[in-house]
Structure 1
């Protein structure tokens, strides 16, 4: 039932959750298509498996909670969670791991806390971290970009690898997978190589891994479109990049042969996806403007610290989850003072 509004705002606004989620999905499409171009149809297969699983688990829990199913499914939040998870994991991830990830994201992280609006952690990133810690090998086995692949797989080989968990006949996993640019950089530096040597490899582009740069560019376009549509604000993405590149530039200037140039961190891994689509989650992020700046800077700095000195080269998921825990406290200390309620009543 639609009620007339007598107090501001005086605009007739229907439930906008589904509209916001649809805009996020549309903004993700360019990056998803770029990932499919460079890494194959496994990206789309993962999205389908994750989406079907997420919707099914959400419907199941809502039935068990005796809550209406269709209104919640129509808000598209489960679909957004599924897409974000599916594009964060390797294209050949076994199907059952995707299903486990969605079960954890929807049941444990979202619905057991009360559903959308009550979950303290980003469900997609919580599921990603669960799988990365529990099954690190399949979660770090990425296909090389198509332009670098020496053993390109056809559609049926990719389907077989996802649903059987085995490489195509006559091939080993090492022959068809490779480390991510962040993993490769970290491994080579640990082996004593200098960045000037590492960057001569054909797997590197202008700033990051070949192919990964263009994927980042298309996610960047989608993120800027979200800012233009006012679906998100600029505060968290800008602060995220400031924290990440600020630390990266300091260490780069200190030792350019041991620490990559700042743009390497922006255009490798999930930094752009994280800045625009994950850290800006309205449920788990800070809500005050000052708090959003602190929140974004802290995530960016944590990403760099974990990438450089921690055990997980990408680090976006860990940084986001850690700051999810801190978001309520940051909001508490950065909330604006209510007019007329100052401490000094003199």
Structure 2
């Protein structure tokens, strides 16, 4: 007898395909990629190229020779993982470390769970956090912006979040005067990873994804509002130590994570109310880690923590059954 196999919900037919959504997100990332290449030149191009190339190759090899199933690298998901991983890395990172991060992202973060749709954590963040733990020295050296020809010998400096951490911890020489202006942070004229340098480019990507209805506003807006609220409360308690609330929105991986990583279909809640809870907790955790944790940035850890809670949110935060009370 023929078996009827029902895939996981939702079961609404809308004409969307995996390929359409993946390539839409890749298009939305173009402004941020162009800004990162304009700011860091050859280094940014090398990081993005190696990350994408190794991710696509690793998925092809695993699917074809280990899983022995149909190759699906043309759906864009492996390339998207590579781009997002690259956007979370400094532009002077050695090629072999980038390759290791890409292998971990695909091999451990994605394919070990069965491939796209089965992973419980965002693969790019799995690769990024692994590299941060395994190679902390290389992962926390940030080239200054505007070095178009240098790569491994780039001049390095503190990021805005690093300066903030120095002020909070009363580090010698740390001062709010060292921060770039809000305009520079909006345009991306400061050091950092490839994806945290231009808030404006990431906002353009957000507008495109909302226009194409690839994502909804619930997760990114709830993340930004909760981060702004907690950051504002801490600023009001002691403005000499804690930065203004808009600082948290314009720096680090806040916008990259809120727009492109927390909204991942597979690892985020399905219901709108669940997405609001998920987003609010990511924003709160991110600011809490930034202000009180050992790391100056907390977006990656916050998203991965909430990825683990997504099944619980899906279980207890459900829409009413059709026709139910």
TM-score when normalising by structure 1: 0.84
Structure number with greater Rg is 1
- The answer for the alignment partner of 1:75 in structure 2 is 75
The 2-side partners of 1:43 and 1:140 are apart by 16
- The answer for the alignment partner of 2:17 in structure 1 is 16
The 1-side partners of 2:24 and 2:159 are apart by 29
Q: Contact between 1:207 and 1:267, CA under 8 Å: does it hold in 2?
A: no
The 2-side partners of 1:216 and 1:57 are apart by 31
Q: Contact between 1:122 and 1:284, CA under 8 Å: does it hold in 2?
A: yes
Equivalent of 2:276, from 288, 293, 299? Answer: 293
- The answer for the alignment partner of 1:149 in structure 2 is none
> Which deviations, in whole Å up to 9, do the C-alpha atoms of 1:182-234 show, x marking residues without a partner?
0122123312689xx83323x51127756158611111111121011100000
Q: Contact between 2:38 and 2:148, CA under 8 Å: does it hold in 1?
A: no
Q: Contact between 2:89 and 2:128, CA under 8 Å: does it hold in 1?
A: yes
The 2-side partners of 1:188 and 1:40 are apart by 31
Q: May I ask how many residue pairs the two structures share in their alignment?
A: 307
Change (3 A) 1:248 1:323: same
Q: CA deviation at 1:40?
A: 2.3
The 2-side partners of 1:125 and 1:76 are apart by 17
**Match status 1:284 vs 2:260:** no
- The answer for the alignment partner of 2:110 in structure 1 is 110
Q: Contact between 2:226 and 2:280, CA under 8 Å: does it hold in 1?
A: yes
Unpaired runs of 5+ residues, structure 2, are 1-10, 191-195
Q: CA deviation at 1:9?
A: 6.2
Q: CA deviation at 1:314?
A: 1.4
The 2-side partners of 1:277 and 1:240 are apart by 12
> Which deviations, in whole Å up to 9, do the C-alpha atoms of 1:270-294 show, x marking residues without a partner?
1011110010000001110000000
Q: Contact between 2:163 and 2:176, CA under 8 Å: does it hold in 1?
A: no
The 1-side partners of 2:237 and 2:313 are apart by 32
The 2-side partners of 1:199 and 1:29 are apart by 32
**Match status 1:189 vs 2:168:** yes
- The answer for the alignment partner of 2:320 in structure 1 is 337
The 2-side partners of 1:320 and 1:9 are apart by 27
Q: Contact between 2:105 and 2:127, CA under 8 Å: does it hold in 1?
A: yes
Change (3 A) 1:10 1:110: closer
Q: CA deviation at 1:179?
A: 2.0
Equivalent of 2:296, from 287, 299, 313? Answer: 313
Q: Contact between 1:220 and 1:273, CA under 8 Å: does it hold in 2?
A: no
- The answer for the alignment partner of 2:248 in structure 1 is 265
- The answer for the alignment partner of 1:94 in structure 2 is 94
The 1-side partners of 2:12 and 2:124 are apart by 33
What's the Cα RMSD here? 2.0
- The answer for the alignment partner of 1:204 in structure 2 is 180
- The answer for the alignment partner of 2:68 in structure 1 is 66
> Which deviations, in whole Å up to 9, do the C-alpha atoms of 1:291-320 show, x marking residues without a partner?
000000000000000000001111111000
The 2-side partners of 1:180 and 1:225 are apart by 28
Q: CA deviation at 1:35?
A: 1.4
Q: CA deviation at 1:10?
A: 7.3
The more displaced of 126-135 and 212-221 is 212-221
- The answer for the alignment partner of 1:302 in structure 2 is 285
The 2-side partners of 1:177 and 1:310 are apart by 23
Q: Contact between 1:208 and 1:264, CA under 8 Å: does it hold in 2?
A: no
> Which deviations, in whole Å up to 9, do the C-alpha atoms of 1:41-71 show, x marking residues without a partner?
21121111011100111011101111111xx
Q: Contact between 2:52 and 2:82, CA under 8 Å: does it hold in 1?
A: yes
> Which deviations, in whole Å up to 9, do the C-alpha atoms of 1:59-91 show, x marking residues without a partner?
11101111111xx11111000000001011000
Q: Contact between 1:270 and 1:316, CA under 8 Å: does it hold in 2?
A: yes
The 1-side partners of 2:307 and 2:77 are apart by 18
Q: Contact between 1:110 and 1:116, CA under 8 Å: does it hold in 2?
A: yes
Change (3 A) 1:322 1:10: closer
